[in-house]
Amino acid sequence: MKILDCHVHYAMPIAPEEIISLMDDTKTDYFNVVLVPERQRISSICDAMVLKAKSMNRCSVYSSLDVSKYFINSKNLGKAFAKYTKYLLKMGADGIKLIEGKPNMRKLLPIPDFDNMVWDPFFEYLETNQIPVLWHVNDPEEFWDKDKIPSWASSQGWYYDESFINNEEQYRQIGKVLERHPNIKIIFAHFFFMSNQLSRLQSILDKYPNIMIDLTPGIEMYINFSNNIIEAKNFFIKNQDRIIYGTDIGARAVLGSSIINKKECIDRSIIVRTFLEKDKVEVKADGNFLIGMKDFTLNGLSLDKDILQKIYCNNFINFSGHIRKINNHLVIKEAKRLKKTITIMSIFDKKVKKDFTYLNEAIKFFNK
């Protein structure tokens, strides 16, 4: 059975070989790297192109957008993002990753409401050209409740008080986007954070044929499934062509760590796969990011092999299409452009340092 992980994070200084080795350790045949913007780097698209080149046709890349455009192209944001997306695809990106729906990103950046018409040229371009998107919208609902939020999430600054956008307001905005662009191709990450609202999620899937959902943990998602295992199994069987395997391997690296927690990454793959394949899952505490402080048992789905193969691999391939060829010249051009952008941003934001180490590594690699 082929395994394709649709949701792997990557950025230097993690070595490409480390991620490739981790895919071997987790018995993952293919993987999709999803990029998120970073204050110091703006984008790690050039890093990801190095990884893609070294992976020997095992890796696709969904690039983040250029967040500098929120500051310098705010009045024509949709047009700017549509143009940049076209450029990314020519460079060798295979799709777009949007982290803009994560509430702390909405607070950090001047992101317009998603139903603001300034976005429309971008969403229209995505829909017309059937560009695949993986979009993180909201977070677990308990992150808005100070009495229920896990300590590890609170330590990351993910408790959302009244100064952050409300999750239901974001769902309303996304609903408007889907109404205007009903054929847009989107994977909503983390089951759209509706693992406890399956009937609501079903109505969205029924209405919009190109919407998919991925299985990337939060562990709360699997606890919600386990607590309603019969409903969950019926949902998975009915939507076996709309659900995609993902793990969030490498997520710590984009949260500021320069190392990959190998045990956590392996645990992620084991938990998701065991939940899909078995009727019971014994989960051991890890003391932090993924699981927490207590051991527990989950009810599993024990799905048939033909359904598993769709979720593990076929659904993403059908959604995303072929892996695009890398244009070395455009990667070098983008690295040089990012160096100029970082230089300009550093003038206005003293926390942005002019460190071009990783961009220079990419230039050297593709300039052979």
pLDDT digits (tens, 9 = 90+) for 35-56: 998 878 889 999 999 999 999 9
Q: Where are the alpha helices (DSSP H) in 181-255?
A: 198-207, 219-227, 229-238, 251-254
Question: Which two structure tokens, joined as six digits, stand for 326?
Answer: 């890398």
pLDDT of 258 > 80? The answer is no
Count other Cβ atoms within 10 Å, centred on residue 184.
21
pLDDT reported for residue 222? 94
- Phi and psi, residue 33, nearest 5°: -90, 130
Question: Which two structure tokens, joined as six digits, stand for 78?
Answer: 């949709």
**Can the peptide bond before residue 13 be classed as cis, meaning omega within 30 degrees of 0?**
yes
Instruction: Report the distance separating Cα 127 and Cα 102, nearest Å.
Output: 22
Beta-bridged to residue 84, according to DSSP, are: none
Question: Alpha-carbon dihedral of residues 288, 293, 294, 299, nearest 10 degrees?
Answer: -20
Return the ∠ at Cα 161 (arms to 159 and 162), rounded to 5°: 160
Instruction: Report the distance separating Cα 366 and Cα 358, nearest Å.
Output: 13
pLDDT digits (tens, 9 = 90+) for 101-154: 999 999 989 999 999 999 999 999 999 999 999 999 999 998 998 888 877 777
Instruction: Report the distance separating Cα 236 and Cα 243, nearest Å.
Output: 8
- Say which residue the tokens 């987790």 belong to: 26
pLDDT digits (tens, 9 = 90+) for 176-224: 999 999 999 999 999 999 999 999 999 999 999 999 999 998 888 999 9
Q: Where are the alpha helices (DSSP H) in 258-327?
A: 262-277, 305-309, 315-320
- Full-model pTM: 0.94
Confidence of residue 287 (pLDDT cuts 50, 70, 90): low
Residue 195's nearest CA partner among 167, 176, 223, 153 is 223
